[in-house]
Structure 1
Amino acid sequence: MPNRRILSIWFPRLGAERLIRRQPVLADQPVAVVEDQQNMQVITALSGVAQANGLQVGQPVRDAHAMCPGLLTFTRSAPQEQRFLEALQRWAGKFSPWVAPEDGDALVVDLTGCGHLFGGERALMQVVQDDCTDLGLSVLMGLADTRGAAWALARYAGRAAGSDRSGDSIDQEARATRSRAGKRRHWTKGGAAPAITTQAPDIKRIAPPGQTYGALSPLPIAALRLDADMTAQLGRLGLRRVGDLLGQPRAGLARRFGRGLVLRLDQAMGSAPEPVSPAKPPDHFAVRMTLPDPIGLVEDVMAAIDRTLPRLCKILKDKGKGARRVMLQAFRSDRAVEMVEIGLARATHDPHRIRPLLEMKIEGIDAGFGIDMIRLEAVQVEPVHDEVTVGHREAGAAVQARLNNANAMDDLIGLLGARVGLDAIRRFEPADSHIPEKSHKIMSAAWSKPHKGPWPKPTNPRPFLLWRPEPVHAPVTPKMPETFRWRGMTLTRLNAIGPERIAPEWWLDDPNWRSGTRDYWVTDTTDGQRLWLFYAHGGAMSPGWFCHGSFA
């Protein structure tokens, strides 16, 4: 069996270049992607223009603006970056079926047995480079026998190991110390230390089969995927290259630095397995039917749907899913495609609940010179759990009746939604607020469940009709007036119940409640009306009387 060959594809400017792809006008401007870390905004990605100005990833935004006044910053969207990386993962499937994401900004590809299909490994990496250039992405790659070595070459190939402290370079140590260090490597390996030859930059990122040791030895310690604290601790001891660690006894390293360091060494050298596990592709629910002759009648289209829809519902049921949105595609003989889409109030895999909605939309399809193929796809799916009724016969019948009624309501919402749209059908839900206008909330009937239990009742009665407060002409005093004028009518008070004092929410600045605290009165008039009046004591506005509703 040939040696494993692993390719690491790193996109160092993924976050910034994703934004530039969507807004090409940003290509010539310094762009930075930032996020909040420990109460401070930190740069997570930079464009090429921003890096040319000396900015670095991990730098505070305030320092970056001081160095580059024209810097444009955008808040990081981790979900969108993940979806973009998933799209790149599908693109990388052209090189090998074994592709997995890595570190949120890289891909790892198992190229074992695939390099010859592209004319060799160097030709394959050139194809990757050309594709990324066409996509507007910066890319760095590393190819080796192990996943750890490929990761190291992609990020640290060609970089010399340095010191983080002045006067602590290995070249400034005593000759005797350097001499003993060389002999120590000679005794450990049983021969002379391997000679490091200078190679072209593109070859440095490819470790030939079986030469992982020579490719990793000159790289910095950080190439072993160690954290910053351990890297700094090893550097203070003079261990700055991977080759310095490879010549040390494993037992001593594990005892002093933990098993994590030894594990990273073994993974890089191939002693510890580190497989590439590709992500499972998302489930796709679609069926199609190719017709021997073109059709154009509604009856023929429905007959084709009757054959394909049960197959789609069976696939959904086997996966424990239910369709929430279903799209019908009719492929015509002139290569045009007619599409209609329906939405359901509740996810289902029952064909008898989906078919009537499709039948209502068939009239919107223009058959043209005939339809050659029918395709049904569940565009949006949700998990569906089977419901089993248990208990006595009467109890089971009652539960089943409730379920049937719920399904009937969902079917009604679906039928109405096919006509006027699901977003136009709404229901009221109670809300926990003492403010009259906020005692309920409006929810979409198709995307919410009915309220269970009785509707919560306030201590004092509320009007059947509620509108925006309308001004009432009456003396500006908290005392309930005997007569007042409202909507052009002069009304006389028969009796009044109140007051009920309601104060605004102090933690919110509601424009409708800038009139301050209100005293509500249930007022009966001599002409038979029962109104809900209140006196606003005045906050940021003038005080006065208003009418808020009517007890019909």
Structure 2
Amino acid sequence: MPNRRILSIWFPRLGAERLIRRNPLLADQPLAVVRDTGQMQVVCSVSDVASAAGVHVGQPLRDAHAMCANLVTRLHNPHAEAAFLGVLHRWAGKFSPWIAQQTPDSLVIDLTGCTHLFGGEEALLAEVDGDCAGLGLTVRMGVADTLGAAWALARYSGQSGASHRNGDAIDQEARATRARAGKRRHWERGGAAPVAFARPGPHGRIAPPGQTHAALAPLPVAALRLPAKTSEDLARLGLRRIGDLTGQPRAALARRFGQDLVLRLGQALGSTPEPVSPAAPPDHFAARLNLPEPIGLSDDLLAALDKMLPRLCDRLKQRGRGARTLRLEAYRCDDTMQWLTVSLARPADTPERIHPLLAMKLDEVEAGFGIDMLRLEVIRHEPLHARTMTGHAGALGDARKRQTQAHVLDDLIGRLGARIGLEAITRRHPGQSHLPEKSAQVLAAAWSEPAPDWPERTRPRPLLLWRSEPVQAHDTPAPPSQFRWRGRSFDALACEGPERIAPEWWLDDPDWRTGQRDYWRVDTDQGDRLWLYYAHGAALSSGWFCQGSFA
């Protein structure tokens, strides 16, 4: 069995270079990507120009601006960077099928048995470097027998574990030691030359098979993926290189620095297994139909859908998924293609619910010289859990009736959405507030469930609500017998109330700075039934206002 070979690909400027790819004008400017950390913003990615100006990752933004006055900053977008790394994940599939995302800015590839297809490891690294240069990405790579060693070589190759302090006793050799140093260099007097461990290449660092220990020995202990505090504690004791740890007893290291140090050391040297776990490929659902003769009639298109939909729905049922958005692609004889998209209010895996929506959109298809291939693809799909109704016959019938009614409503929303768009169809839903204007909210009907039951209220609420409008009346808490509103005079015939509503004290709402309100339902002589309230004036002046009207 061949030795296991792992490639670690690190993109140290992924966040900044992703933005430069979208806006090439940023390439000539110092660019830094910042993220919010507590009470300040910290640099998390920099471009080449910003790095040359002295800006580095982990630096507070105020210090970065002090070093580079013309620094251009952008906020960190982890979701966009994860999506971009997913694209690079698919690109890396050309080298090996065994790929995993190790960190938010790196990939790890198991190259075992694949390097000979590219002419060896150095040729493979050269191709990776060329592809990344074409994409405008900076890349660092490392190849070793273990995942931890490859990670360390990609990030810390060429760095020593020497201390940055002056007067370090460990780095200062005695006179006798320096005098005998020439005798230890036996290869200068005809002996065998030392093996070049972790040979540096133009595109990355490669540790030869079986020489992981020697390749990691000169690297700093931070290359073991240790916390910063653990690395500092080790350096304080003079253990700055990985080679300084390999000769230490594992039990003593575990007692002093914890099991994480021993685990990381074993993973890097190969004594503790660390598999490469590739991400599962996303579910993809599509059906294609090649036609022996070009078609162009609506009946022929419907017949083609009748053949494709059952196959597509069977695959959806096997995976427990439901189609939410589908795309129908029609390929013509003249090498042109037209496509149309339909969306459902609820995910579905049955042809009976999908076929009517596609049939409504077939009139938009232009056959031209004829259609010789159709392809139906599920763009968006969601989990769909099977439901099993149990119980007495009456309860089972009621449950099936409610489920059928829900499907009918969802199908109606889907048909309306195919005409005017699903975003234009909304429904009212109760809100989590006792304030009148916040007691209901508007939700998209296709992405929300109907409210099971509206909360019961002791006092009726008006059908129409608007922002409070002033009413000219006597400034007394008692309901007025006469008042003026919107330029009209009214006489109160009957009043019902009051209903006292207090503001939400934990929120500063400008409309509720008048404090508590006493609401009254007032019947007027002109046939209007208005919803008036008296504001007691906590922070503003008191008075009467109108906020709604009953049917």
Provide TM-score, normalisation by structure 2.
0.90
Distance 1:66 1:478 in 2: 61
Residue of structure 2 in register with 1:533 after alignment: 532
Partner of 2:155: 155
Which amino acid letter does the alignment assign opposite residue 268 of structure 1? A
Aligned to 1:498: 497
- Contact 1:157–1:219, Cα closer than 8 Å, also in 2: yes
Counterpart-to-counterpart distance in 2, 1:178 and 1:149: 32
- Unpaired runs of 5+ in structure 2? none
Matched, 1:462 2:449: no
Moved more, 25-34 or 241-250: 241-250
> 1:549 — aligned with what?
548
Q: What's the counterpart of residue 523 of structure 1? A: 522
Larger mean CA deviation between 289-298 and 161-170 belongs to 161-170
Question: Counterpart of 2:352?
Answer: 352
Question: Aligned to 1:492, what secondary structure does the other structure show?
Answer: strand
Match of 1:25 in 2: 25
Distance of 2:471 and 2:238 partners within structure 1: 86
Quick check: 2:146–2:269 contact (8 Å CA) kept in 1? yes
Q: CA deviation digits over 1:198-233, x for unaligned, max 9?
A: 976538712223333332232222223233233223
Distance 1:253 1:464 in 2: 73
Alpha-carbon distance in 2 for matches of 1:132, 1:203: 11
Gapped regions of structure 1 (runs ≥ 5):
none
- Structure 1 residues 87-96 or 108-117, which shifts more? 108-117
Change (3 A) 1:492 1:198: closer
SS in 2 for 1:429: strand
CA apart distance, 1:503: 4.1
Counterpart Cα distance in 2 of 1:282 and 1:52: 40
- Is contact 2:162–2:171 with CA below 8 Å preserved after alignment? no
Give the Cα–Cα distance (whole angstroms) in 2 for the partners of residues 131 and 332 of structure 1.
Answer: 35
Partner residue in 2 for 1:418: 418
SS of the residue corresponding to residue 28 of structure 2 reads coil
For 2:493, what is the secondary structure of its paired residue? strand
Which residue in the other structure is 1:389 paired with?
389
**RMSD of aligned Cα (Å):** 3.1
C-alpha change, 1:204 and 1:48, in structure 2 (3 Å) is closer
Amino acid at match of 2:458: T
Structure-1 residue corresponding to 2:47? 47
Deviation at 1:526, TM superposition (A): 2.6
1:295–1:474 distance in 2 versus 1, CA, 3 Å: same
User: What whole-Å deviation, never above 9, does each CA across 1:354-411 have from its counterpart, x for those lacking one?
Assistant: 1111111111111111111111111111111111111122221121111111111111
Distance 2:397 2:56 in 1: 68
Aligned residues: 546
TM-superposed deviation, 1:540:
7.4
* Matching of residues 49-198 of structure 1 within 5 Å: 49-168=49-168, 170-175=170-175, 194=194
Quickly say closer, same or farther: Cα 1:113–1:517, change in 2 above 3 A.
Answer: same
* 1:248, distance to aligned residue in structure 2 (A): 4.3
CA contact (8 A) 1:162 1:169 kept: no
SS in 2 for 1:92: helix
The answer as to whether partners of 1:163 and 1:169 remain within 8 angstroms in 2 is no
% identical aligned pairs:
62
Q: 1:391 to 1:369 in 2, by over 3 A?
A: same
Shift of 1:299: 0.4
Say whether the 8 Å CA contact 2:198–2:206 is kept in structure 1.
no
CA distance in 1, matches of 2:391, 2:180: 84
CA distance change for structure 1 residues 247 and 178 in 2, over 3 Å: closer, same or farther? farther
CA contact (8 A) 1:322 1:383 kept: yes
- Deviates most, 366-375 or 474-483: 474-483
Cα–Cα, structure 1 residues 296 and 168, in superposed 2: closer, same or farther, change >3 Å? same
Q: 1:11 to 1:481 in 2, by over 3 A?
A: same
1:329–1:338 Cα contact (<8 Å) kept: yes
Q: How many Å separate the matches in 1 of 2:390 and 2:197?
A: 77
2:334 aligned partner, one-letter code: D
Q: Deviations over 1:284-340 (max 9, x none)?
A: 011111111110000000000000001111100000011111111111112222111
SS of match in other structure, 2:490: strand
The change in CA–CA distance for 1:72 and 1:489 in structure 2 (over 3 A counts) is same
Cα distance in 2, alignment partners of residues 296 and 181 from structure 1: 88
Q: Name the stretch that deviates more: 493-502 or 172-181.
A: 172-181
* Residue 272 of structure 2: aligned partner: 272
Measure how far apart 1:28 and its partner are: 2.0
Q: State how far apart, in whole Å, the 2-side matches of 1:345 and 1:392 are.
A: 31
What secondary structure is seen at the aligned counterpart in 1 of 2:94?
coil
C-alpha change, 1:350 and 1:200, in structure 2 (3 Å) is closer
Aligned ranges 1:271-350 → 2 under 5 Å? 271-350=271-350
Q: CA deviation at 1:542?
A: 6.5
Cα distance in structure 1, aligned partners of 2:380 and 2:397: 32
Moved more, 359-368 or 397-406: 397-406
Is the Cα–Cα contact under 8 Å of residues 198 and 207 in structure 2 kept in the other structure?
no
Larger mean Cα displacement after TM superposition, 56-65 or 278-287: 56-65
Counterpart of 1:323 in 2: which secondary structure? strand
Q: Which amino acid is the alignment partner of residue 400 of structure 2? A: Q
Does structure 1 residue 482 correspond to structure 2 residue 443? Answer: no
